[in-house]
Structures are given as C-alpha cells and as structure tokens.
Amino acid sequence: MPTPRIDINLNKIAHNAKTLSSLFQEKGIDIIAVTKGVCAHPHIANILVKNGVTILADSRIANIKKMQEAGVKATFLLIRTPMISQSESVVLDTDMSLNSELSVIKKLSEFALLHGKVHKIILMVELGDLREGILPSQLENTIKKVLTLKGIHLEGIGTNLACFSGVKPTTEKMELLSSIAISIEKKFRIKLSMISGGNSANYNWFSTTKDVGRINNLRLGESIFLGYEPLTGRPIPKLYQDAFIMTAEVIELKNKSSVPDGEIGLDAFGNKPKFKDQGMIRRAILAIGVQDVMVAGLTPKLDTEILGAGSDHIIINAKKEELKVGGEVSFTLKYGALVTAMNSSYIFKNIKTPITAKEYCAIVEEKDKFHKKKTAIMVVKENNSPLMSLQDSDFNLIFEKSIQKNYRYLVRKEVYEKIGRISRLLDNQGKKLIIRSAWRSFEHQQKLWNQKVSFLKKKYPKKTVEEISKIVSRFIATEKQSTHSTGGAVDALIYDLQKKCVLDFGTNDGLQIDLNEKCYPKHPSISEEARKNRKFLMELFENEDFVCDHKEYWHFDYGNIGWAVEKNKKYANYGILKESYVQSAALDYPDKVFFYL
Ligand SMILES: *Cc1c(COP(=O)(O)O)cnc(C)c1O
C-alpha cells in the first residue's frame, strides 16, 4: 500500500453520523454534515447521505460542485459567507447559503431572478465570536429589506461560535438566539424553519441543557469525522476517534544525539528551534512533512514522540518501539491535520468501503474452507477433562428441546464452569442463557442431518441428493466433522425475562432459526437490533475464551480443534468422545453424569 496515505474507514464515519444524528434528534435537532474537513470527498459524502443526512454543507463552491459532479444526491448549503464575485455560481450551484451582507444577498436575488430560481438563505447572527454575523441590533433592519427581495427565501437564522475566538455556545447564547428567532417571527409574522445553533462545539451545551428552545439545527463536521468535542478536545462517548489514520514510511533510522552540534540560527521556517537534552536517542525520519499535513495535529499511535518537522520530513524519537527502514508509522489526526491531509495531493486516500453482503459471504466461505483444512491436520492432546451435565447444575439456564431422547446437555468441566459464569452475568441483566445443544453422539448428529435433508427434500422436490447435501452441509456438519462430539461446543441464544422472548438475532423467530447466509455472524444486512444482540452474545462467550463459528452466530467452541485453529494453538485439548464411552461412564456413576476417558 502506498505511503504516505490516509486510511478512511467509511463504516466508522457512518456510525458516528448515525449516532450523532439520533442523539440530537432526541431533542428535535436535525444535523447538517459539513464536508470541508474531508475536502468533500464524494465517497464520504455518499456514505453520509446513505446514513440519513439530507443536507451537506461546505465552505467552498468548488467542493459542492465536486460532490454534485460525482452524483451525490443532497441539498447543498454554502457555509462561508459568499463572495459577491461568485453570486451567480452560488445561485446556480448551491441550494442554500449562510449570509451576513445585504449587498451580497441583493446580488443573489438578481441572479435568482435571472435564472428563475429561489435561493434559500440563513442569516447569521453575531453572538460574540467575532467572525461572520449581523449584530443583533441590526438584524431586524436587514430582515425588513431581505423580505422585499424576490428570488430569495429566508429559511432561518443561525450563529457560529467557538471558531475565531473560541467563545463557548453556552445556554445563555443559545437562549439569546432562540429569543431573537421568536421576536422576529412575531414582528414580521413569518415562520423561520431553521434555527441553526452552531457546530460540533455545541455538544456540551446540548448534553447539559434540558430545553433546546427554538434551536432545531446544528452543522457538524469535526464530531462526525473525528468523534471529538472541539472545545475540550475530549472524545464523544460511543463515537470512533480513528475513522482516519495517517501512515508514513521510515526512511532513516539511527542513533543520534538529541541536541544538535554547532551554532544555532533560524530553522527553515524562520524560527529559533529549542532542544531538550535526552542524550543519545533512536531517531527515525518519516517521508512526510508540513507540505503534506499540519504536523501539530498528528498523534502517534505507538509510544514515540514527534521531535519536529520540515517541509518533507517528520523526525520522531522512536523510543523503545521496534521501527525499521521501510516500515510504517501511523498517527491519529486532529482537525487541522485532517483538513490538510485530505487536501494534500501527495497523500494517498485509501477508502475502506463497507462490504456488501455478497462480498462478506464470499470471505466467510473462503475462511471456512481454510479453517476446515487446518482443523483436518490439528493435533489433539486429550486432557481427559470430564463431561458434566448442564441440566444437573444450579445455573439459571433454559434448555431447548432436543430431537435426541433423554438428552443431557453434556459439556467438558471447563466449559461447564464458563457457562456458569456467563449465566451469572446474565442473571444481573434480566436475561437467561438458552442452551440449544451441547455434546452430541454421532447418532444424534446423523439424526440432525437426516432431519434437515428430509425437510429440504420436501421443500425443493426438484433438487438432486447432491444439491440437497450441499445446502445442508453449509450449516450442519457430517457426524465426524462436528465439534459437538468433543463436549467443547455449545449452541446458545439469550432469553429476555422482561420482554418474555428470545432476543432477535436476525434469522430467528423465537427458538426457530432459519438457516441461511444471514446466520453468518457479522452479515451486513441484518438489523441494528440483531447486530447488537449478536455482538452481546458473542462477547459473552469470547470473554470466556470461546470462539464463535464462522457461519453460525449461536455456535461456540472451546478446547476442541475448531478453537485450537482459530486461537493459533499447537494442539487441541478435547478430542471426540463417542457414545459408548459416555454410556459406560453414566453406568458407572448413575447419580452424577460425568465422565473420564
Ligand atoms: C466549519 C464550520 C462548521 C462545522 O464545524 P465543526 O467544528 O467541524 O463541526 C459549521 N458551521 C460553519 C459556519 C463552519 O464554518
């Protein structure tokens, strides 16, 4: 992969946009996504639109045109007060603009009339940050004139704080904007549809205020892309801070002094540099510099320190990290770094696109094939851990009815203990673990296979035996291949005691599971709820060192060959346990079902 590059994770951006959108919606605020920070990258714009954003805003007409030419379908808002010289293009190429100069609005009106259009405007109000905005005392006067202009529709008012002077959008400021909106509506007997309270810096105001007043809109860039609240620089809960990762290549790595040798004058940028004496250090030079990115906005992912940068180099103290020439060093980005990097033609933009269902399934099937090859040669060192019946435990469990008579839900001792811990965790959350299946004899496995075959034969009478077998083998292992014969596999779901139902996992109706590709654990086309529930189930087991099956979200392995392959172990601990062994053990210890090889 080329360097320097910026890796862009569209799934994370989509997650941030959706999370913020539903959060602000709780108090009736719509969000506009501001694309200037990512140079209006069309893939990013598209993912925002796909995830429910209807208005995209940018400070530059060129960026808006870029998105339109790439086929992005949205309403486009120009957020930098328009240049009067570009008035015609504003009318032709954007749907709406933020404004603060009457002379410009008059020009917009002329061009709107000329082209038979209506251009929507939002009047910006100056509330203390001293960037764009009409002084509150002059607002009514301006509006009086705006309302007489043809081809212009006053969509609303807005303000922008926390930019030029870092003035906080406090409750007081927002109440002021609300009251201005109310008095204008009253005075002019109009309805303002959009009261746009600000940008990402409004997050703290929003989280602490009970009443957002008339504010019904925010324009968000930084918080969507980087998951930070800009006033404090703190991460916003539940958002990703690493949707963008910057990577550069090491071109020199040497032990050198931490202080320069010689008389010190001005550096390449006219500054007098200062140095901290740390003795000899391991210095790495990266092939990226201030021409490419605002270096102050980079945070190394490894424990290293940026010592300084020139137009084409960043120099870092590699400390104890194992770097090498030709190796890569990665950084997370702050807003300044993001804006500059996205604008640099020297930096490769590596977009990780969300995977389609078809692609995902192909990957799972490939992985599964590979997995099967590896399990076939996995060594077992049987550790003789006994089988125990979950039915004899005092754990809070629900047992799904089995086609096998007198089924005992046997698992190995360690698995038994793990299930105990999982069930106790669920007890505290008003939920219960459902055990669908555990140890199975070959005969039991064969029964399952036959049952599925006859079901499908009836469903698809035209299919051949081979075709039917192929479908069945996608989900049911042949007797010899099933890890259920080891006592290290369990099939589980979760029951919600409050809602009195089995959780929704996307392919189940209660306990009834429809076997299809959507059973692959991370299938992209299942609902948000199902995704959340699968994640919950999988984490419960994975935290107990189980691995989830590639194709079945309910199947978990521990200690057996499937587990050993996934965990990169040299050998598995649990081999196959045959019916005859289990029966003889049950005879020897009739009151306690457990078993030694
Ligand atoms: C840049 C900008 C925004 C977005 O700011 P973020 O801090 O990135 O959310 C909103 N409104 C205006 C007028 C802007 O210039």
CA 584 to CA 586: how far, in whole Å?
A: 5
- CA of 224 from ligand 1 middle (Å) equals 11
Phi, psi of 419 (to 5 degrees): -65, -35
The answer for residues whose C-beta is within 8 angstroms of residue 147's C-beta and 6 or more apart is 154, 188, 190
CA 379 to CA 382: how far, in whole Å?
A: 9
Burial class (CB in 10 A: 0-12, 13-18, 19+), 208: exposed
Confidence of residue 57 (pLDDT cuts 50, 70, 90): very high
Residue % of the chain over a pLDDT of 90: 82
Confidence of residue 87 (pLDDT cuts 50, 70, 90): very high
Is 222 close to ligand 1, i.e. is its CB under 6 Å away?
yes
CA 105 to CA 364: how far, in whole Å?
A: 57
- CA of 198 from ligand 1 middle (Å) equals 7
Of 147-151, 284-288, 478-482, give the lowest mean pLDDT range: 478-482
Of 204-208, 393-397, 466-470, give the lowest mean pLDDT range: 466-470
- CA of 213 from ligand 1 middle (Å) equals 21
Tell me what the pLDDT averaged over the chain comes to. 93
CA 81 to CA 104: how far, in whole Å?
A: 9
Nearest atom in ligand 1 to the alpha carbon of residue 223 is 9
Q: Which of 199, 204, 215, 225 gets mutated to test ligand 1 (max ligand atoms within 8 A of its CB)?
A: 199
- CA of 303 from ligand 1 middle (Å) equals 32
Q: Are 94 and 76 in contact (CB under 8 A)?
A: yes
Which of 223, 225, 274 minimizes the C-alpha distance to 245?
225
CA 221 to CA 39: how far, in whole Å?
A: 11
Is 221 close to ligand 1, i.e. is its CB under 6 Å away?
yes
Confidence of residue 489 (pLDDT cuts 50, 70, 90): very high
SS (H, E, C) 95-142: CEEEECCHHHHHHHHHHHHHCCCCEEEEEEECCCCCCCCECHHHHHHH
Is 34 close to ligand 1, i.e. is its CB under 6 Å away?
yes
- CA of 126 from ligand 1 middle (Å) equals 15
Which of 86, 96, 125, 83 minimizes the C-alpha distance to 32?
96
Give the residue whose CA is nearest to atom 12 of ligand 1: 79
The CA-atom distances, in angstroms, between 65 and each of 43, 71, 524 are: 14, 10, 32
- CA of 192 from ligand 1 middle (Å) equals 21
CA 198 to CA 308: how far, in whole Å?
A: 35
Tokens of 127: 């509330």
Nearest atom in ligand 1 to the alpha carbon of residue 158 is 13
Flag whether pLDDT at 353 surpasses 80. Answer: no
CA 156 to CA 197: how far, in whole Å?
A: 11
Is 95 close to ligand 1, i.e. is its CB under 6 Å away?
no
Flag whether pLDDT at 455 surpasses 90. Answer: no
Q: Are 67 and 44 in contact (CB under 8 A)?
A: no
- CA of 130 from ligand 1 middle (Å) equals 15
CA 576 to CA 297: how far, in whole Å?
A: 56
For 547-578, the pLDDT digits (tens) are: 999 999 999 999 999 999 999 999 999 999 88
Tokens of 193: 């549809």
Q: Supply the angle between the helices 10-25 and 42-50 in degrees, to the nearest 10.
A: 40
For 286-320, the pLDDT digits (tens) are: 999 999 999 999 999 999 999 999 999 999 999 99
The one-letter amino acid at 443: E
pLDDT at 584: 67
Is 219 close to ligand 1, i.e. is its CB under 6 Å away?
yes
Nearest atom in ligand 1 to the alpha carbon of residue 34 is 4
Is 159 close to ligand 1, i.e. is its CB under 6 Å away?
no
Give the residue whose CA is nearest to atom 13 of ligand 1: 79
SS (H, E, C) 361-416: HHHHHHHHHHHHHHHHCCEECCCCCCEEEHHHCCCCEEECCCCCCCCCCEEEHHHH
Torsional class of 474: left (φ above 0), alpha (ψ -120 to 50), beta (otherwise): alpha
Of 109-113, 363-367, 368-372, 590-594, give the lowest mean pLDDT range: 590-594
The one-letter amino acid at 454: S
C-beta neighbour count of 28 within 10 angstroms: 11
Nearest atom in ligand 1 to the alpha carbon of residue 37 is 8
Is 199 close to ligand 1, i.e. is its CB under 6 Å away?
yes
Flag whether pLDDT at 597 surpasses 50. Answer: no
Is 37 close to ligand 1, i.e. is its CB under 6 Å away?
yes
Rounded average pLDDT over 104-109: 98
- CA of 259 from ligand 1 middle (Å) equals 41
Nearest atom in ligand 1 to the alpha carbon of residue 59 is 15
Is 99 close to ligand 1, i.e. is its CB under 6 Å away?
no
Q: Which of 32, 56, 79 gets mutated to test ligand 1 (max ligand atoms within 8 A of its CB)?
A: 79
**36 catalytically annotated:** yes
Q: Are 227 and 14 in contact (CB under 8 A)?
A: no
Give the residue whose CA is nearest to atom 7 of ligand 1: 200
Q: Which of 13, 21, 34, 167 gets mutated to test ligand 1 (max ligand atoms within 8 A of its CB)?
A: 34
pLDDT at 416: 97
Sign of CA dihedral 38, 43, 44, 45: positive
HSE at residue 225, side-chain half, CA atoms within 13 A, is: 31
Flag whether pLDDT at 590 surpasses 50. Answer: no
Torsional class of 279: left (φ above 0), alpha (ψ -120 to 50), beta (otherwise): left
Q: Are 89 and 61 in contact (CB under 8 A)?
A: yes
- State whether residue 275 is helix, strand or coil: coil
Question: What's the maximum distance between 2 C-alpha atoms anywhere in the chain?
Answer: 98
Residues making up the chain, counted from first to last: 597
Domains of the chain, start order = 11-234 (3.20.20.10), 244-260+278-352 (2.40.30), 358-595 (3.30.1380.10)
- State whether residue 553 is helix, strand or coil: coil
Peptide bond into 4 cis (omega under 30): yes
Flag whether pLDDT at 592 surpasses 60. Answer: no
Catalytic residue among 12, 18, 27, 36: 36
Is 491 close to ligand 1, i.e. is its CB under 6 Å away?
no
For 153-170, the pLDDT digits (tens) are: 999 999 999 989 899 999
CA 152 to CA 551: how far, in whole Å?
A: 57
Element (H, E) at 493: strand 489-496
Residue 37 is given by DSSP the state G
Confidence of residue 596 (pLDDT cuts 50, 70, 90): very low
Is 44 close to ligand 1, i.e. is its CB under 6 Å away?
no
Q: Which of 163, 205, 231 gets mutated to test ligand 1 (max ligand atoms within 8 A of its CB)?
A: 163
